[in-house]
Structure 1
Amino acid sequence: MRAFLDLRQAGHDPQMFMANGVRLPNPEVPVRIATLRAGAEAAGCRFESPRDFGMGPIAAIHSAEYLHFLATIHPRWLRIPGAAAEVIPNIHPDRRAVNYPKSAVGQAGYHQADTACPIAAGTWEAAYWSAQTALAAAEVVAGGASAYALCRPPGHHAFADLAGGFCFLNNSAIAAEWLRARGMRPAVLDVDVHHGNGTQGVFYHRSDVLTVSLHADPDRFYPFFWGAAQERGAGAGLGFNLNLPLARGTEDAAYLAALEVALGRIRAFGADVVVVALGLDAHEHDPFEGLRVTTPGFTRIAAAIAGLGLPLLVVQEGGYMQPALGDNLTAFLRGLA
């Protein structure tokens, strides 16, 4: 399988995030790149560098206002006397239809959903090339083959104008829209342990892209406010979003049963290409401890998805540092074969 990676993604090196009111080391670290790359190469992937598709495909998903914010906020933030080295908001609006402030602090609160998406000097460049990596793999998939995009930072929590959960640009949504614009009918299948709330939000009112997410039940798990089964889309998009929340600790057999429901919906949609938002954090030993999928379970998950018989664009989402991380990617990619 062809695979893509741009090493400028390593320039994003977040130092912290907050959980339960405690300042903790950020788990979305650059070393994930080397571990995931080794896992993909063990499955037979050979990496290529992406070409630059420019801002157009990114701006087809994200607002110009938000993209300007991401590209300029860090140097503006550093002009605040005593500001920290990373952009981390301390105030958020209670609704989006409010004043758009000139203040860097206010704009950070408007465009960053939580404290898990700090912005530093290398963040914008890394996010930009993460998106270009997804687009390069999408170009292969448009030709009828499958491909893997090692995207980091991940993207599925990013809305059109809102970062969150380690995510800035929604790589899976950008790739899906690029494929749709070329006459394809994409479905996004998100198998990350966390609900793909940003991807859902991007396409929630649309019927031309199907969004499906299997994830730990958000009643007691991030992102909390999105991911319930009753969220089915709205307006023209009603019936084109499927959430399959799973009980904490769900193991392989129950996960695979839910996956069959997801695959049935993709078949009913008539998709001719699938963007797999691949989170390896559903693993039993992932630090977030949401689900209990085993390493062999990832092979079975991939084999079931491959059973659709469609070109697959595998976009890396979550999966954090633990001994089995690379092995889990190897298992998944081998399962596709």
Structure 2
Amino acid sequence: MLTFHSQDTKKRQAKTELDGGRLVTPYECPERVDMIIDAVRQRGLGEIRSTQAYGLDPVLAVHDAAYVMFLEQAWHDWVAAGLHGEPIPSIWPARRLRADAIPDHIAGKVGYYALAAETSLCAGTFEAAQASKDVALSALDHVLDTGEHAFGLCRPPGHHAAIDQYGGYCFFNNAAIAAQRALDTGANRVAILDIDFHHGNGTQDIFYERDDVLFLSIHGDPRQEFPFFLGHADETGRGAGKGFNCNYPLASGTAYPEWSDTLDDAIDRLSDYQPDLLIVSVGVDTFEHDPISSFRLKSDDFTDCGQRLKQAGLPTLFLMEGGYAVDEIGTNTVNLLSGFEAC
């Protein structure tokens, strides 16, 4: 399996994250990429390829133009306003505040476009998000051109990025951008299976009223886990999208037997839908020692997960999302991919 990767994904070098009332070093760090690349090479998964540049048109196909412009200008505007540190929102257009008037001041804009306060902006964020999107699209084009499976080592991740909001370390929704490009270049139906520990709220937001993308997400119960305000089982789509959104919230402490039974159910849904392409949002933060998650999967379980995914029998694009046990992220990611390749 080819891996697509860009060193430019490491241009985001954030220093701060709000975690439990403290400012800490972000869990989503550039070293995650290095650990995965090392594991790909050590295990002989396949060639590592560089990426093409796709510009902003694919981004604008799923994201609000004013939001994209905000991300491009945010760091410059923050510095120009004489503000210090890294932009973290301090106010939002919450209930009974107006959401139809975007502030001119950068501090207000940050609050308008952020869905959470844990993710800071920094110099290089926009460039890294662009590079991450290019990774996804380069891997996608390989799948579409050859029918072979591929892995896009995206960083920063994307599945929390909504139509016009960032958060959860995500700025551009790589899986959604890839799905839309696949549709625009001839696919009739695409499925996105999100196996990250956290619900893919952004992906759900983008496709919630559509029937050309089936979205399936296995994740921690939002009554207990980030992003808290989306990801419940009764969220099944709206309008034309009714029945094309399927959430599987699972309890804290879920181990592989229950998790894999849920995966099998999702694969059955895929078989019924028969998409032209399967995009897997890969999160290995389901690992038992992940610092910000609470499932109990072991490293060997990822191998079995990959084997189960292969049984879907679909052209498959893997895109990296979460996973914050940095010492094991390479092993767990490559176990999943190798398990898929071995079948």
Give the alignment's TM-score, normalised by structure 2.
Answer: 0.95
Report the 3-state secondary structure (helix = DSSP H, G, I; strand = E; otherwise coil) of the residue aligned with 1:324: helix
Q: What are the superposed Cα offsets for residues 182-240 of structure 1, whole Å, 9 maximum, x if unpaired?
A: 22121000000000000000000111000000001111110100110000011111100
CA distance in 2 between counterparts of 1:308 and 1:272 reads 12
Report the 3-state secondary structure (helix = DSSP H, G, I; strand = E; otherwise coil) of the residue aligned with 1:139: helix
Counterpart residue number, 1:69:
70
Counterpart residue number, 2:103:
101
Counterpart residue number, 2:130:
128
Counterpart residue number, 2:161:
158
Report the 3-state secondary structure (helix = DSSP H, G, I; strand = E; otherwise coil) of the residue aligned with 2:48: strand
Report the 3-state secondary structure (helix = DSSP H, G, I; strand = E; otherwise coil) of the residue aligned with 1:220: coil
Q: What are the superposed Cα offsets for residues 234-256 of structure 1, whole Å, 9 maximum, x if unpaired?
A: 11111000000111111111111
Per-residue deviation, 1:40: 2.4
Per-residue deviation, 1:84: 2.2
Amino acid at match of 1:65: A
1:181 is the counterpart of 2:184: yes
For structure 2, the 5+ residue unaligned runs are none
Q: Cα RMSD (Å) of the superposition?
A: 1.2
Q: What are the superposed Cα offsets for residues 111-138 of structure 1, whole Å, 9 maximum, x if unpaired?
A: 1111222111111000001001000000
More moved, 164-173 vs 108-117: 108-117
CA distance in 2 between counterparts of 1:230 and 1:309 reads 28
More moved, 106-115 vs 320-329: 320-329
Counterpart residue number, 1:318:
322
8 Å Cα contact 2:35-2:327 kept in structure 1: no
Amino acid at match of 1:232: T
Which of 110, 114, 117 is the matching residue for 2:116? 114
8 Å Cα contact 1:117-1:168 kept in structure 2: no
Counterpart residue number, 2:38:
38
Amino acid at match of 2:72: A
**CA separation of 1:194/1:265 partners in 2, compared to 1, >3 Å: closer, same or farther?**
same
Amino acid at match of 1:135: L
8 Å Cα contact 2:306-2:339 kept in structure 1: yes
8 Å Cα contact 1:285-1:322 kept in structure 2: no
Give the alignment's TM-score, normalised by structure 1.
Answer: 0.97
Counterpart residue number, 1:277:
281
CA distance in 1 between counterparts of 2:298 and 2:114 reads 33
Structure 1 runs of 4+ off > 4 angstroms? none
For structure 1, the 5+ residue unaligned runs are none
Counterpart residue number, 1:224:
228
Which of 137, 140, 143 is the matching residue for 1:138? 140
8 Å Cα contact 1:210-1:241 kept in structure 2: yes
Per-residue deviation, 1:66: 0.6
Counterpart residue number, 1:21:
21
Amino acid at match of 1:9: T
CA distance in 2 between counterparts of 1:250 and 1:37 reads 29
CA distance in 2 between counterparts of 1:305 and 1:292 reads 19
CA distance in 1 between counterparts of 2:134 and 2:176 reads 12
Identity among equivalent positions (%) equals: 38
Counterpart residue number, 2:81:
80
Which of 300, 303, 306 is the matching residue for 2:304? 300
Report the 3-state secondary structure (helix = DSSP H, G, I; strand = E; otherwise coil) of the residue aligned with 2:223: helix
CA distance in 2 between counterparts of 1:39 and 1:197 reads 29
- Number of matched pairs: 336
Per-residue deviation, 1:60: 0.4
More moved, 156-165 vs 113-122: 113-122
Counterpart residue number, 2:335:
331
8 Å Cα contact 1:146-1:313 kept in structure 2: yes
